[in-house]
A and B are shown apart, each in its own frame.
Chain A
Amino acid sequence: MDKEIFQEFVNESGQALTQARTLLANYVAAPAEVKILADVGILVDRVYGTAATLHVESVAVLCQKMKAISYMAAQVDNRILNSIVAATMLSVLDYLLDLVKTNGLLTYKKDIHKEMANRLDLLMSKFSSNLRKTVAS
């Protein structure tokens, strides 16, 4: 992979993931504002597309799942479920941002990564099958 492009990806995805984290924190403070979750979905979707094209699986897999969850959560007004969505996604974003800061995107620990993916899969299963059909995951 082109080193310059990869470094730019690290910087740009770090910014977008930080923005997504800030938005999620805003949502926690104002849980009626479900549109914020859709905005989070847009941000992680952007990161997903680039990460998938560059084959940075550590980021692509988790962002694809967070995109689907964000879009589904934005369509339901279930405060309890959405508070779990926010808490889980905050922990996943913190994990990814830590990888970004420590240059660990290509050398991440597979077991921790799998745990994060499992948490998101579990969360995804809490939405109705009809809703799951409306998002790519």
Chain B
Amino acid sequence: MSGDMRILVIDDMAVMRKIVVKQLENLGYKNIETAENGKDGLAKILDGVKNNNPVQFIISDWNMPEMSGLELLKTLKSKKPLADIPFLMVTAEGEKDQIMAAIAAGVTNYVVKPFSPNTFKEKMDLVLKKVGLPATPA
């Protein structure tokens, strides 16, 4: 599965979405989709379930309009088929409260902005290892 894993990148800033997608492509992933906020992301996740093409990995920003990353995470955790999707939360520097809240809500791991491509890869691999999936392809 590795390189074909369906990944959903959720961020309200188009530039951040592009940065994350580019880093994922550099890691060898090809099946990447994006969403502008938690609400849009949730719709895509539910569509995936409906169409038998489930999202297999979520990378979501915390601070977004409509539905935040934490609200999305809590919603997914309350829906059994979706609760096990690996979830990497992107949060701002020094936001310890956010990180603690995300951990309490069951996030698989988190990455703090600003992050380097190496840090991003390390976090991806930690999440993949935790859920028993192969490491990043590249």
Residues of chain A at the chain B interface (Cβ within 8 Å): 2, 5, 8-9, 12-13, 16, 42, 45-46, 48-50, 52-55, 60, 64, 67, 134, 136-137
Would A8 and B14 count as touching, CB distance under 8 A?
A: yes
Residues of chain B at the chain A interface (Cβ within 8 Å): 12-16, 18-19, 22, 61, 63, 90, 92-97, 113-115
Would B94 and A137 count as touching, CB distance under 8 A?
A: yes
Nearest B residue to A9, CB-CB: B15
Would A46 and B114 count as touching, CB distance under 8 A?
A: no
In angstroms, Cα B65 to Cα A106, docked, is 29
In angstroms, Cα B115 to Cα A134, docked, is 22
Would A50 and B13 count as touching, CB distance under 8 A?
A: yes
In angstroms, Cα B93 to Cα A12, docked, is 21
Would B18 and A136 count as touching, CB distance under 8 A?
A: no
Chain B residues, Cβ within 8 Å of A55: 114
Would A50 and B15 count as touching, CB distance under 8 A?
A: yes
Number of A-B contacts (CB under 8 A): 55
In angstroms, Cα B113 to Cα A54, docked, is 10
Chain B residues, Cβ within 8 Å of A60: 114
Chain B residues, Cβ within 8 Å of A54: 15, 19
In angstroms, Cα B115 to Cα A12, docked, is 20
In angstroms, Cα B87 to Cα A66, docked, is 29
Chain A residues, Cβ within 8 Å of B63: 42, 45-46, 49
Nearest A residue to B64, CB-CB: A46
Would A136 and B115 count as touching, CB distance under 8 A?
A: no
Chain A residues, Cβ within 8 Å of B115: 53
Would B113 and A52 count as touching, CB distance under 8 A?
A: yes
Would A53 and B16 count as touching, CB distance under 8 A?
A: yes
In angstroms, Cα B94 to Cα A136, docked, is 5
In angstroms, Cα B19 to Cα A55, docked, is 12
Would A48 and B15 count as touching, CB distance under 8 A?
A: no
Chain B residues, Cβ within 8 Å of A46: 12-13, 63
Nearest CB of chain B from residue A24's CB, rounded to whole Å: 18
Would A5 and B113 count as touching, CB distance under 8 A?
A: no
A-B contact pairs, 19 of them (CB 8 A): A2-B22, A5-B18, A5-B22, A8-B14, A9-B15, A12-B13, A12-B15, A16-B13, A46-B13, A48-B92, A49-B16, A49-B114, A50-B13, A50-B113, A53-B19, A53-B113, A53-B114, A64-B93, A67-B92
